[in-house]
């Protein structure tokens, strides 16, 4: 027995060690981002040195030994306002004209046109160099944001791991006994309980009679051993217990379950919708509903919105918070530049243990909640993904109760609603529609939108219903 206690204690110690290492990594990334930010200063305009270099180049190419107007040497004085004036004129107009030159230049210079051509050419090259520098600085700033977001994510992971309690001892004997009765040998186990009360189990097991058992059946056994709970095999865990020893991961089920419905049509004349959506399990006891509307329509828009959905899903399934996932995806799209067109993202994460909904929006239309107290809206800003560097996704939270519905639509559906007050028209329709199966509701909403207007844009409807088990 002492050996068994020692094994799962060692695993818990590894958990604590990993949490501390993650925190150290987060601090290092934060420091790296700050050092990167301090290293390079920003820039946005032509400088005095750029102007002097252009004047010197023009003088060397045109003036020769002539010193009649002495424009370059006069501009070298620190208090030369005229040099500043020339630079601002060039930035505003894109060139300097003869009317912008001083009276002495008009009176003394014999090669005005040639000089102006050289001066404008030199300033044009300086502007091009400045443009490339600014693009580099924008990319640098985006990378800094990404470092900071990664630091924040690692800190979140560290806090989650540090808050986990090792409760293996309370259930170990009952689990081993019940599994042994079903010809399964548990060689090692670790059961963690997190701050929200949710439990997670890691069992290293094998069959002892040469027969196999599904992880789903093993999860049912776990529920019998841990009285008063229901368990499921994690979707990223092995599915079959065989005679070969392997580690399996199980998650405690939440209080709620969800049903889902979806309906959509592409824009008239298009074979593929530019909208992409998902409904799937995320991290522990979490359901993800997401909808992305790519800019434009057709295959390219579908690829853009699909990439947003895919990246967000991967981060959420790994355990990132919704806010961190959206911020990180946004920086990735910014780094992609013109190769990635912006796309909206409407994200709902539902905790099946507590029924709490977290909605995150970037450029998406309102989400409608059909609750016991009527219909409410979750709405946020209008900036899509991959457009602004410091965009902050709006976080909206709400407690969901048994038999409530979540309705998410793309802007094509909302714009098809009658009248000028689109949200109010949608609310009125949903009130008359009442409580139905999520799939039937999605079909009816799309039918209504199409009855009002032909598909002038991609139309997608998602409906999720939450129910107590």
* Sequence-separated (6 or more) residues with CB below 8 Å from residue 78: none
β-bridge partners, 359: 348, 396
Q: What angle do CA 292, 293, 294 make, to 5 degrees?
A: 115
Token pair listed for 364? 């998406």
Check: pTM over 0.75? Answer yes or no: no
Q: Give the helix ranges, DSSP H, for 296-433.
A: 298-318, 322-336, 411-415, 422-433
CA distance 442 to 436: 10
CB 333 within 8 A of CB 370: no
CB neighbours of 341 closer than 8 A, spacing ≥ 6?
294, 295, 296, 300, 301, 304, 386
DSSP lists the bridge partners of residue 294 as 343
- Domain end marker among 161, 180, 209: 161
Asked if 104 and 204 sit in the same domain, the reply is no
pLDDT at 383: 47
Same domain, 113 and 196: no
Inter-residue contact 143 to 135 (CB < 8 Å): no
Contacts for 423-428 with beta carbons within 8 Å, 24 or more apart? Answer: 423/366, 423/377, 423/379, 426/368, 427/368, 427/375, 427/377
Q: Quick one: tokens of 179?
A: 């599994």
Residue located via tokens 């058992």: 213
Among the three residues 113, 129, 161, which one is the final residue of a domain in this structure? 161
Task: Please check whether residue 311 is in contact with residue 335, taking contact to mean a CB–CB distance below 8 angstroms.
Answer: no
CA dihedral angle for residue 119, residue 120, residue 125, residue 131, rounded to 10 degrees: 130
Report the helix count and the strand count for the chain, using DSSP H and E: 13, 17
Whole-angstrom Cα distance, residue 415 to residue 423?
9
468 has which bridge partners?
A: 256
**Predicted pLDDT at 350:** 92
Domain extent, residue 185, equals: 164-252
How far apart (Å, rounded) are the C-alpha atoms in residues 234 and 249? 6
403 and 390 fall within a common domain: yes
Structure confidence at residue 43 (pLDDT): 55
Residues 51 and 75 sit within 8 Å (Cβ to Cβ): yes
Cα gap 26→346, rounded to integer Å: 28
The pLDDT score that the predictor gives to residue 390 is 54
Among 121, 139, 161, identify where a domain stops.
161
Let me know whether 126 and 199 are in one domain.
no
- DSSP states of 274-312 as a string? SEEEEEEE-STTEEEEEEEEBSSSHHHHHHHHHHHHHHH
Give pLDDT tens digits along the chain (469 positions).
Answer: 444 445 455 555 656 656 666 667 667 666 666 665 655 554 567 777 877 787 778 777 778 777 766 676 666 665 566 777 778 888 888 888 888 888 777 777 888 888 888 888 888 887 787 777 666 666 666 667 667 777 777 777 777 777 778 889 899 999 999 999 999 999 999 898 887 778 889 999 999 998 999 999 999 999 999 988 899 998 778 899 999 999 999 988 888 999 999 999 999 888 899 999 999 877 667 899 999 988 878 888 888 888 888 888 887 776 667 777 777 777 666 665 544 556 788 889 998 888 999 888 887 889 999 998 899 998 865 545 444 455 566 678 899 999 999 999 999 999 999 998 999 999 999 999 988 999 999 999 999 999 987 778 899 999 999 999 8
Q: Can you read off the two tokens belonging to residue 140?
A: 């640098």
Residues 149 and 168 in one domain: no
Identify whether residues 286 and 349 lie together within a single domain.
yes
Q: Are residues 243 and 271 in the same domain?
A: no
Same domain, 291 and 435: yes
Query: What does the block give as tokens for 387?
Result: 């457009």
Q: State both tokens at 108.
A: 């003394």
Backbone angles phi, psi at 323, to 5 degrees: -65, -50
Do 443 and 300 sit in the same domain of this protein? yes
343 and 215, same structural domain? no
What CATH number does the domain containing 463 carry? Answer: 3.60.40.10
SS3 90: helix
In the 8-state DSSP scheme, what is residue 366? Answer: P
DSSP state of 255: S
- For residue 138, what pLDDT is reported? 62
Query: Do 399 and 434 fall within a single domain?
Result: yes
Length of the chain: 469
Same domain, 121 and 63: yes
pLDDT at 2: 43
Residue 124 CA to residue 361 CA, distance in Å, equals: 42
How many Cβ atoms from other residues are within 10 Å of residue 447's Cβ? 11
Number of domains in the chain: 3
User: What is the C-alpha separation between 286 and 280, in angstroms, rounded?
Assistant: 9
What is the reported pLDDT for 11?
Answer: 54
Residue for token pair 């548990």: 186
């Amino acid at each position: 027995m002492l050996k068994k206690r020692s094994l799962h204690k060692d695993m818990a110690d590894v958990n604590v060690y990993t949490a501390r290492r993650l925190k150290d990594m987060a601090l290092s990334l934060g420091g790296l981002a700050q050092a990167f930010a301090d290293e390079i200063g920003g820039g946005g305009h032509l400088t005095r040195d750029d102007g002097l270099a252009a004047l010197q180049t023009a003088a060397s190419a045109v003036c020769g030994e002539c010193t009649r107007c002495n424009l370059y040497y006069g501009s070298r004085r620190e208090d030369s306002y005229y040099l500043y004036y020339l630079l601002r004129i060039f930035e505003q107009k894109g060139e300097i004209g003869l009317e912008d030159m001083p009276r002495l230049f008009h009176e003394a210079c014999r090669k005005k046109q040639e000089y102006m051509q050289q001066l404008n050419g030199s300033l044009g090259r300086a502007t091009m160099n400045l443009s490339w520098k600014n693009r580099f600085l924008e990319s640098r700033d985006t990378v800094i944001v990404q470092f900071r977001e990664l630091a924040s994510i690692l800190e979140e992971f560290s806090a989650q791991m540090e808050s986990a309690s090792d409760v293996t001892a309370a259930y170990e004997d009952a689990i081993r006994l019940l599994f042994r009765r079903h010809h399964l040998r548990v060689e090692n186990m670790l059961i963690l309980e997190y701050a929200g009360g949710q439990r997670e189990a890691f069992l290293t097991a094998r069959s002892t009679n040469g027969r196999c058992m599904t992880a789903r059946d093993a999860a049912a056994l776990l529920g019998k051993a841990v009285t008063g709970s229901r368990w499921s095999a994690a979707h990223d865990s092995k599915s079959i217990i065989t005679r070969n020893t392997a580690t399996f991961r199980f998650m405690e089920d939440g209080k709620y379950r969800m049903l889902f419905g979806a309906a959509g049509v592409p824009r008239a004349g298009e074979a593929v919708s530019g909208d992409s959506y998902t409904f799937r399990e995320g991290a522990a006891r979490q359901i993800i509903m997401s909808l992305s509307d790519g800019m434009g329509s057709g295959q390219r828009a579908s690829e853009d919105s699909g990439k947003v959905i895919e990246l967000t899903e991967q981060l959420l399934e790994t355990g990132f918070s919704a806010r961190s996932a959206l911020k990180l995806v946004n920086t990735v799209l910014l780094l992609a530049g013109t190769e990635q067109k912006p796309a909206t993202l409407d994200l709902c994460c539902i905790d099946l243990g507590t029924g709490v909904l977290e909605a995150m929006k970037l450029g998406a239309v309102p989400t409608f909640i059909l609750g016991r107290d009527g219909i409410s809206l979750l709405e946020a800003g209008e900036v899509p993904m991959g457009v602004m560097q410091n965009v902050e996704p709006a976080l909206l939270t709400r407690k969901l109760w048994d038999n409530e519905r979540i309705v998410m639509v793309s802007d094509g559906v909302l714009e098809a609603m009658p009248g000028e007050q689109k949200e109010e028209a949608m609310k009125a329709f949903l009130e008359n529609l009442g409580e139905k199966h999520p799939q039937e509701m999605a079909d009816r909403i799309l039918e209504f939108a199409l009855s009002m207007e032909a598909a002038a844009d991609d139309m997608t409807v998602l409906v999720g219903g939450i129910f107590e088990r």
